[in-house]
């Protein structure tokens, strides 16, 4: 299998995951106050949304790469 076919399969899988989940969340610690040895921090949860067109576009490009002849 050559790299173009592997890239095509990876794009199809990534596009399918993007369409299934629609985004992902992550937690970030941010230091707020430092008073001597005491440090207060806040955990922020942020969400990154993946547009539907990006997932569908990745699938389309992946399928095109699978059928490209070298």
Q: Is the pTM of this model over 0.85?
A: no
How many structural domains does the chain have? Answer: 1
Indicate if the pLDDT at residue 1 is higher than 80: no
Q: Tens digit of pLDDT for each residue in 2-55?
A: 888 999 999 999 999 999 998 889 998 877 787 878 878 888 899 999 999 999
| Cβ pair 19, 49 in contact under 8 A | no
Indicate if the pLDDT at residue 70 is higher than 70: no
Please report the pLDDT score of residue 38 as a whole number: 82
- Its sign, for the CA torsion 49, 63, 12, 65, is negative
For residue 33, what are its two tokens?
A: 């106050």
Domain range for 43 is 3-66
């Amino acid at each position: 299998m050559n790299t173009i076919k592997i890239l095509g399969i990876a794009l199809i899988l990534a596009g399918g995951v993007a369409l299934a989940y629609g985004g992902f969340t992550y937690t970030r610690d941010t230091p707020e106050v430092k008073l001597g040895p005491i440090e207060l921090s806040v955990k922020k949860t942020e969400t990154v949304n993946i547009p539907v067109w990006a997932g569908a576009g990745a699938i389309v490009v992946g399928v095109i790469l699978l059928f490209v002849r070298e």
